[in-house]
Structure 1
Amino acid sequence: MGDLEERVARLPVERKVRLLTGASMFTLRGDDEIGLREMAFSDGPTGVRGLDFTGGPLTCLFPNATLLASSWRTETAEEVGRLLAEEAERQEIHVVLGPTVNLHRTPLGGRLFEAYSEDPLLTGHLAAAYVRGLQAQGIGACVKHLVANEAETERHTVDSVVDERTLRELYLLPFEIAVEDADPWSVMAAYNDVNGVPATEHQHVNNEVLKQEWGWDGLLMSDWFATKSAGPAANGGLDLVMPGPVGPWGPALTAAVESGEVAEATVDDHLRRLLGLAQKVGALDSTRTWRTDLPAPDSDVRREQLTRLAAEGMTVLSNDGTLPLTPDRTAVLIGRPVRETTCMGGGSASVRAPHQVSIADAMPEVTVVDGVAVRARPRAGRTTMRVQRYGASGAQLSDEVSAEAKTVGAMPDQELAEPVTRVVMSTEVPAGAMRVGFLGVGTATLSIGDERHEVTLGSESDDIGGDFLRPPGWQTDVVLDHPTELAVDITLGAWSGLGLVVEPTPPTDDEAIAAAAAAAAAADVAVVVVGLTEEQETEAFDKSTLALPGRQDELVSAVAAAARRTVVVVNAATPVLMPWRDEVAAILWAGLPGQEGGHAVAAALRGEVEPAGRLVTSFPVADGASPAWDVVPTDGRLSYDEGVFVGYRGYAARKAPAPAYWFGHGLGYGEWEYGDAALDGDTLTADLTNVGARPSREVVQVYLQPDDTDEPIRLVGRTTADLAPGERRRVDVTLDRRAMRTWTDAGWRPITSGTLHVARGLGDLRGEVRLTPPSR
C-alpha cells in the first residue's frame, strides 16, 4: 500500500486525472514515471472478444450465462473462469468485463441471457466461483452492473426505484457474496439511476456500502459512456471513466480539484485503486509475460470443453421416456433453428467465433425439414465482403475485407484521416433464388445485376448504441442465373452497425408447416426446434412478449398432431410461452449453446451427455403472469413495487399464477428417491438414491420458508451429486446464512425459525426439517 501511495504522490493533479479515463475504447494509459504499463480490457460474458467490436481475432464462443448457470455447480463456473482467463492470456487482455450478476427480475429483460438467475444466492455463488477461476491466473474480473440494472428500456436515463430492504436482500447480495468470497479486482457501475442518483455517482452504494461497509479495495469503473459528471462522480466513488480518450473528466475534474469541489485525496484514492489493479494483473513496473502454449479456439480440447459445458446445462422440462433418442427409432429434424441455430445473444456479449455449429451440422444422418420464419428483421449473412470507407472530402479512408458480412462505419476511437460519411460494401451472391439486402442507418443504393434500389433507413433507437447493436435493415428476393455482385453504397445517417443480407430465399410459412407435418408423420420421432434470436436476446432492447416469434407455436402443434412422438428443443436463453406443452412427448431447453451448440444439442438428445440442468428462472404461464413484469419506465421511473417477492418468491406467495415451470425444475435422465433429512448447525443432510437405470446428476436444493408471513421463501443452499444406478448416498448441503436474514431499519436481523424444504425445485418438494431458534 505504501509503495502505491508513494507513486501517486509523484504526479501532479493533471497527470493523475489523465490516468483515470480510458486511452481508447478498451485500453488504459500507462505512465513510465510511476511504472504503470498500458492495460487492456475486453467484453467477456460469453467469450473474450478482444479490443475490436467487429473484425477482431477469432475467439471461443461459450454457452450463455443462463445455460452455464443451469448446472447449479460452482465447479462449472470456476472452470469457465479458468478457460476465459486462458482466452484473455491468448489475446493479452488484463481484465475481462464479467460476470454479470444482475437478477432476472422480469422475464422481459433483453439482457437476461448474460445474467445467471432470478435468485441472489445462486447468482452470488456462481459469480464468486467465476471470479476465482479468472483471477487465479492473474486476469482481473469485473463484476457488473452495480446496481438495479435489470432492464434495457431507457437504460441510460431510467431511475430504478428500490427500497433499501429489497436492494440489500436481492440486488446487492450477489455483489456482496462475490466481494466477500472472491475479492473481484474491479466492479462496473451501471447506466441507470438508483433512487434518483446516477449509479456512477451513488455515494450510498459505491462508498458507504461497497468500499466502506464491505471493505472492498478494488477499482470501480463506469459502464461505457455511463458517466454523467466530473465532481459528483468522483466524489460518488467512481474510480475510472470508460471509454476514452475523451470523457466528462479530464480538465473538468482537474478544475473541480482546484476549486475544492473534489479533494485531491479523493483523486489519489481513485489512482491508488487503479495502480492496485495494475499490480495484480502484471501491469506495474514490468511488462507481463503472456502464455503462448494455449489451445486455439477451434482446437479439439476447446470443442470438447464447450460441448460438455453446454450439454450439461441443458434442461429436460418434460419427458415421457422418448428422450434420450435411440438408434432404433427414425427421426426427423424440423424448424428454421435446426440450420440457423442461435448460438449467442446480441450486443457486447457477442464474439467472432471460429465456427457456430448448427444442429443440422451435428446430426447429418437425420433428415432436416425447414420451418417457419423466426426472424422479423433482416440479418447480416455469413459471407465475406469488401468494405470501403470514405470521408466527406471524397477521399478513401480504408479498404478491407470482412469475413463477417457485418461491420461499422467507424468506432469512436478509430484513427482515420477524417470522419467516415460513406461506406461501400460488396460481395458475390451465388446463383439461385436469393434474398439480398443491407443493414444500416442512412441513404443507400443497392445494386444486384441490373437491379437498382434506392433505400433510406432511419434510426430506430434513442439508445446511444441501439442502431449499432441492432441496426435497421431492408431486403428483397431475386432469382440469379449466375453468381452476381451485390453492392451497397450507403451515405451514413448515424453511428450504426452495417452489413449485407445474403441467404437463400426461404419457403413460405404455409409451405413449411405442410412439409413439416408430412415429414413428421413418416418418422418415429419428430424433433422440432423453436426459439428466439438476437432480435430478442440482446443488449439495449427489452422484449414485449414471451411468445415465440412468428408461427412457431402453430408449427409445433401441426407436427404434434401428425407425429407419433414429438420432442421440442427450445433454442432460447430465457423463458418462452409453450401453449403446446401438453401436446408433446418431451421438451429440452437448450439455451444459447455457444460455438459447439449443435454438437451439444445432439449429445443431450442422444444421452451421450446428460442434460442435467435445472432452471435458473421461473417460466410464466402467460404474458403478465409474473410477480414483476413491466420494463417500460413511467415518467422515467421504473418502480420495483414487488419488493422482495421476485421470481419464485412471488409465485410461492401467490402474487402471480403458478408458473409453467418452477425455478429449480429439471428432470435430467435419472430417477431419484429422497430419504430422511436432518439439520446439524449450518449443514442439512439428506439421503439420496438414484433409482433409475442410468448414471445421473441430481441437484439437491434447500429452501427456507420463514414462520414470519411477511418473509418470502428463499433458496438457502444447494449441492450436486453424481450417482450410479442404484447408488445411495448421504449428501450434505451447507446453508448460507447470508440468505437467512432480513434487512431492517436497524440493519441485518437473522431469521431463526421456519421450515427448511428439501426439493428438486419448488414444484417438487421431497422433505422438510424445522429451523428453530437456538435455546437460551
Structure 2
Amino acid sequence: MTDDLAALVKALDLPAKVRLLTGASAFTLHPEPAVGLAEMRFSDGPTGVRGLKFSGGRVVSLFPNATLLASAWDEQVAYEVGRLLAEEAAAQQIHVVLGPTINLHRSALGGRLFEAYSEDPLLTGRLAAAYVRGLQDLGIAACLKHLVANESETDRNTMDSVVDEATLRELYLLPFEMATDAWSMMAAYNDVNGVAATEQHHVINEIVKDSWDYPGLIMSDWFATRTAASAANGGLDLVMPGPDGPWGDALVAAVRAGEVDESTIDDHLSRLLLLARRTGALGTPRTWPDDLPAPDSAQRREQLTRLAATGITVLRNEGDALPLARTTRVALIGRHALETIDMGGGSAQVNPPYQVSVATGLADLLGDTVTVTDGVEVRTRPVPPRFLTEVRATLYDADGKELEQRSCPQGTTMIGMDDDFEETVRAVHLTGRIGVTGALELGGLGVGSWTVKVGSQTATYSQRLEGGGFGIEALAPPVRTDRFDATAGDLIEATVEVTGSMGLYGLVGSTAPRTTVEVIDEAVRAAAAAEVAVVVVGLTEEQETESVDKSTLRLPGAQDALVEAVAGAARHTVVVVNAATPVLMPWLSRVDAVLWAGLPGQEGGHAVAAALLGDIEPAGRLVTTFPAADGAAPAWSVTPVEGKLAYSEGTFIGYRGHFAGRAAEPAFWLGHGLGYGKWEYAEARLDSGAVVVRVTNVGERASREVVQVYWRPAARDEPVRLVGWAGVTVAAGDSAEVTVHPDERLWRSWDTAAGTWTRLPDEGGEFLVARGLGDIRATLG
C-alpha cells in the first residue's frame, strides 16, 4: 500500500478496520471521519444505474442490454456506454457501478447471459476494457463480475464449477485479465473446483492480485460470503451487503486468535481506501454535476435509440426484403410488438421513465400505413401491466402509521431487501388508474393477505411461498389474478398485510385472454391484407433473468405456430426477434427476413423501427453462436450433478466447438450479420504480423463491415479462436483497406504440469479472414 494510505490504516484499531470491510447497508459503505472517509454508494448497473433501492427507486435511463450493445463489435460504443452510465451514476452520487458482467456464454441456456457480452473471451475482454475506461474517465468505479466460472444460474449458491486450469486461465479469466484497469471486481456465488469463489486463494491472491499485480478491491456478490477467516485469507476485501454478515466480531476474533494476520486486514482496508480515493470519497469530497441529461431528455432519447439500433443484427434478408420502404403497407403482429421486452429480470431491472413498444415506434415513422394485431400469449406468470398508470404505494407499520409513499412507474415496489423497513413494514396499500375498458385479469404479487378492489368488485386471498432458494421472495414471489370488469379511468386499490420480511409487492394483470386459434386467425387476416407482415416474437424475463436458467431454446407459447401461419398468408414476412440470447427458428426458410433485436431498452420501439426502415443501419454481428436445435452445442447442460457442473468441453465452447466438429453446424455463427451492404474481399495479406484486406461495398447503401480474423492452430487439440477484428464504414461502390492486429494473448497455452504459459507454434497454423466462420473470405498461412 502507498505510504499515505498505510498511515490512514495505522490510525485505526482492529475493530474499526474490520467494521469498514462489511457494507453499512444494502448498497452503501460505512464512513469513517477519523481518516476522512465518506460514505461510499454502490449501484447495480448492467442496463442502467438503478440507485440505492433494489426496486421502487428513482426513475433512471434504461439502456439496451449487454449482448445488444456488444453486437456492435465496437469499442467506441462500449466506451460511450460507460461514459453515459457514469453520468447516470453521478446524477445519483453513486461511486461504484456494479458492472460489467464478463462471464462467457458457455451454454445458451444460461438465464443471465443477457447481462454478459459474448461467448468469446477476446471480444468480451476488449469491450469490457473500453466500458471500464468510459466509466472511470469520469471518476466512477467499474466492478468486473462475477469472478469466476459463473456462467449459469441453476443452484448458483451451492454448485461447484469444475474447470481445468488451462480452460480457467485461457478462457474464463482472460476477460478479467484484459480489463484489470477496473478499480474493483466481484467474487461470484458458486464454488470453483471445490472452493467458494469468495475464498479463492488461488484465483484471487495467486492469479489476480499477485500474477496480475492487481491493486483494486475484490468484493463479494450480495450474501455470497460464508466464512470469516477463510474468506479473509482467500483474498476477499469487502463483504456485501451490510450491516450484518460473517465478518465483524468473528473476523476480529479470528485475527486475535492468530487465524488471520492483521497485515491481511490492513491490505483489505488499503484497497478499500484506494477505491475511495479514486472515486472521490476519501479526503476532500468530490463535487457532483447538477446539469446532467434527464432520463427522458431528447439527448438520452437520441443516444439510446442509436445505441440499440446499431447493435440490431440482420440474420436473413432474402430478396432485399429490408429495409422497408416508407410507402409499404405493414401488418405488425405479435405480443412483443405491443409489449416489447426491453430488459431482463433480477438485479438488471430499473425503473425507466417509459418504454417504447415496436408498435409505437413503427407507427411514429409510418403513420396509418401500419395496422397492429396482438399475438399469442408469451408468459406463464402475470406481470405489472402497462395499462396501469399513476401507481403509488404507501407503506405502514403494525400500528397503521404511515412510513413512506412511493411512485411506482412500473407498478411494483420492493420492501425489505434494501430498506430499513424489514421488520417495521406490516402493510402496503397500492393504487393505480386503469387505462383500458373490458374484462381484465388483475391481482397482487407478493407474500401476504390481499384485498383487491375495482369499483364494487372485491377479491380477497392469502399467498405463501411455494418454493425455496435464495432471494425467492424477490425473484419469484407468489402471484394471483382474478377477473374484473373495468372501465378506463377506474381506480384499482389493493392492500396486503405483509407476512414476510424480504420481498416484492405489486399490482399485476392483463386483458382477458383469447384462444390461440382466435389470435392466429386474426393475425392471418391482417397479414393477407398487407404488403409486408412484420411479426415480433421473443422471450420474456421469465426466461432471461437472474436465478433461473432456460430448459429449451424454443420460443414460449405458440409463437412458432403464429409465424408459420403468417408466413403462409403474407406476400412477404419479416420476423423481429425480441430476445437477448439464441432461439430456435423452425420457420426460418419460410420467411424473407429476420432481425435480432435483443432487449433494446427504453427506446426499443424507436430503435427497431429505425432499423426496419434503414434510418439507422442494423449493422450488428452476433456475439453468440445460435445452435440449430436443443442440445446441438458443445456445452449444453447447466444442471449440476451431485452439486458439480463439469466444464468438460474445455476451451471448445461456442463457435470453437462447432468448428472442430464437436457439435452440429449451427444455425448462425458468432460474428454473423448482414447489415444493409454487400461485400467483396480482395488482396488479403500478412504485413508485419497484421492481417490486411481490401473490402469493397458492392451494395447500394453505405454500410459498416466488421472484418474478423481467426487463428486455426495446427494442433488438433487446440480450438480455432478469434484473434482480432476491425470495423469500417464504406460508401456504396467504395473500397477500404482494413488492418487487423491479432492479440498475442490468443497464442498462449497454459502448461498445467509446468505451471506456466507457453506459446502455440505458428508453423502449420493459418489465419481465417471471415464474416463469421460460416463465411470465410480468405485463408493466410
Specify if TM > 0.5: yes
Cα distance in structure 1, aligned partners of 2:227 and 2:421:
26
Q: What is the distance in 1 between the residues matched to 2:226 and 2:419?
A: 19
Q: Which residue of 2 aligns with 1:755?
A: 766
**Residues 1:671 and 1:483: Cα distance change in structure 2 (over 3 Å):** closer
Q: Check the 8 A contact 1:571/1:591 in 2, yes or no.
A: yes
Aligned match for 1:266, one of 236, 260, 264: 264
What's the counterpart of residue 459 of structure 2?
Answer: 453
Which amino acid counterpart does residue 775 of structure 2 have in structure 1? D
Contact 1:425 1:489 in 2 (8 A): yes
**TM-aligned CA deviation for residue 730 of structure 1:** 1.4
| Letter aligned with residue 706 of structure 1 | P
On the 8 A contact 2:56/2:406 being kept in 1, the answer is no
- State the distance in 2 between where 1:585 and 1:509 align: 24
Partner of 1:774: none
Deviates more, 1:594-603 or 1:324-333: 324-333
Map 1:50-69 onto structure 2 (within 5 A): 50-69=51-70
8 Å contact 2:382–2:509 — kept in the other structure? no
Asked if residue 8 in structure 1 is aligned to residue 9 in structure 2, the reply is: yes
| Aligned equivalent of 1:773 | none
* Matching residue of 2:378: 374
Q: Secondary structure at the match of 1:39?
A: coil
Report what 2:232 is aligned to. Answer: 234
- Number of aligned residues: 766
Q: CA deviation at 1:3?
A: 0.3
The corresponding residue for 1:560 is 567
Q: 1:16 corresponds to which letter in structure 2? A: K
Listed one character per residue, the Cα deviations across residues 334-387 of structure 1 (whole Å, up to 9, x for unaligned) are 001111000111111111111111111112221101111111111012433343
Candidates 675, 697, 710, aligned match of 1:703: 710
The one-character-per-residue Cα deviations of 1:457-512 (angstroms, maximum 9, x if unpaired) are 33244332233023231113322367544333333344321111244334332211
Judged with a 3 Å threshold, the aligned counterparts in structure 2 of structure 1 residues 266 and 482 are, in CA distance, closer, same or farther, namely: closer
1:487 equivalent in structure 2: 493
Verify the 8 A CA contact 2:459 2:482 in the aligned structure 1. Answer: no
Pick the aligned partner of 1:520 from 513, 516, 527: 527
Q: CA deviation at 1:535?
A: 1.1
Q: CA contact under 8 A between 1:460 and 1:467: conserved in structure 2?
A: no
Aligned pairs for 1:320-339 (under 5 A) are 320=318, 321-339=320-338
Gap change, CA 1:184 and 1:461, over 3 Å in 2: farther
The aligned residue for residue 143 of structure 2 is 142
- After superposition, the C-alpha distances for 1:722-756 in whole angstroms (9 at most, x for unaligned) are 11111112110010011122111222111222011
Which consecutive unaligned segments of at least 5 residues does structure 1 have? Answer: 771-776
- 2:87 is the counterpart of 1:86: yes
Conserved? CA contact 2:351–2:409, under 8 Å: no
Residue of structure 2 equivalent to 1:589: 596
Structure 1 residue matching 2:709: 3-state secondary structure: strand
Report SS of the residue matched to 1:487.
Answer: strand
Mapped to 2, the partners of 1:235 and 1:600 lie a distance apart of 49
State TM-score, norm by structure 2.
Answer: 0.96
Q: What residue identity is the alignment partner of 1:664?
A: G
Deviations 1:198-256 (A, max 9, x none): 00000000000000000000000011111101110000000001111111111011101
* Mapped pair 1:425 → 2:434: no
1:219–1:240 contact (8 Å) kept in structure 2: yes
2:244 — aligned with what?
Answer: 246
Gaps of 5+ in 2: none
Aligned identity (percent) is: 59
Which piece of structure 1 moves more, 419-428 or 33-42? 419-428
Answer yes or no: is 1:344 the counterpart of 2:343.
yes
**Whole-Å Cα distance in 2 between the matches of residues 51 and 762 of structure 1?**
44
Contact residue 579 and residue 599 of structure 2 kept, 8 A: yes
Cα separation, 2, equivalents of 1:483 and 1:301: 33
Distance in 2, matches of 1:209 and 1:63, equals: 33
Q: Secondary structure at 1:234's aligned position in 2?
A: helix
CA distance in 1, matches of 2:212, 2:472: 35
Alignment correspondent of 1:177:
178
Q: Could you say which residue in structure 2 is the equivalent of 1:407?
A: 413
One-letter amino acid of the structure 2 residue matched with residue 739 of structure 1: L
Alignment partner of 2:271: what SS? helix
1:201-216 matches, cutoff 5 A = 201-216=199-214
Q: 1:376 corresponds to which letter in structure 2?
A: T
CA contact (8 A) 2:56 2:414 kept: no
Paired residue type of 1:723: V
Query: Would the aligned equivalents of 2:53 and 2:418 in 1 still touch at CA under 8 Å?
Result: no
Amino acid of the structure 2 residue aligned with 1:469: L
Q: Is residue 74 of structure 2 the alignment partner of residue 73 of structure 1?
A: yes
Residue of structure 2 in register with 1:609 after alignment: 616
Distance in structure 1 (CA, Å) of the matches to 2:424 and 2:486: 36
- Once the two structures are TM-superposed, the CA of residue 410 in structure 1 deviates from its matched residue by 2.6
AA of the residue aligned to 1:749: T
> Cα 1:429–1:502, aligned 2, differ >3 Å: closer, same or farther?
farther
* Counterparts of residues 431-446 of structure 1 (less than 5 Å): 431-446=437-452
1:482/1:639 CA distance change after superposition, 3 Å: closer
Secondary structure at the aligned position of 1:27 is classed as coil
Q: Within 5 Å, give how 1:105-124 maps onto structure 2.
A: 105-124=106-125
Partner of 1:354: 353
Q: Is the CA contact 2:690–2:741 (under 8 Å) kept in the aligned structure 1?
A: yes
Match of 1:304 in 2: 302
In the alignment, which residue of structure 2 is the partner of 1:471? 477
Cα distance between partner residues in 1 of 2:467 and 2:617: 42
Separation in 2, partners of 1:35, 1:142: 23
Using the alignment, how far apart are the partners of 1:724 and 1:428 within structure 2? 51
Q: Is the 8 A contact 2:64 2:343 kept in 1?
A: yes
Say whether residues 1:769 and 2:774 are aligned partners.
Answer: no
The Cα shift of 1:101 comes to 0.2
Distance 1:132 1:480, change over 3 A: closer
Q: Distance in 1 between matches of 2:488 and 2:352?
A: 31
Aligned to 2:579: 572
For 1:697, what is the secondary structure of its paired residue? strand
- Are residues 1:462 and 2:473 paired? no
Residue 634 of structure 1 and its aligned partner are, at CA, apart by 1.1
Whether 1:288 and 2:295 are equivalent positions in the alignment is no
The residue type equivalent to 1:170 in the other structure is L
The correspondence for 2:630, drawn from 617, 623, 636, is 623
Q: Quick one: structure 1 residues 400 and 351, their matched pair in 2 at CA, closer, same or farther if it must change by over 3 Å?
A: closer
Evaluate the alpha carbon distance shift between residue 289 and residue 117 of structure 1 in structure 2; reply closer, same or farther with a 3 A threshold: same
Kindly tell me: are residues 481 and 739 of structure 1, through their superposed partners in 2, closer, same or farther at Cα, counting changes over 3 Å?
closer
What is the distance in 2 between the residues matched to 1:685 and 1:408?
A: 54
Residue equivalent to 1:640: 647
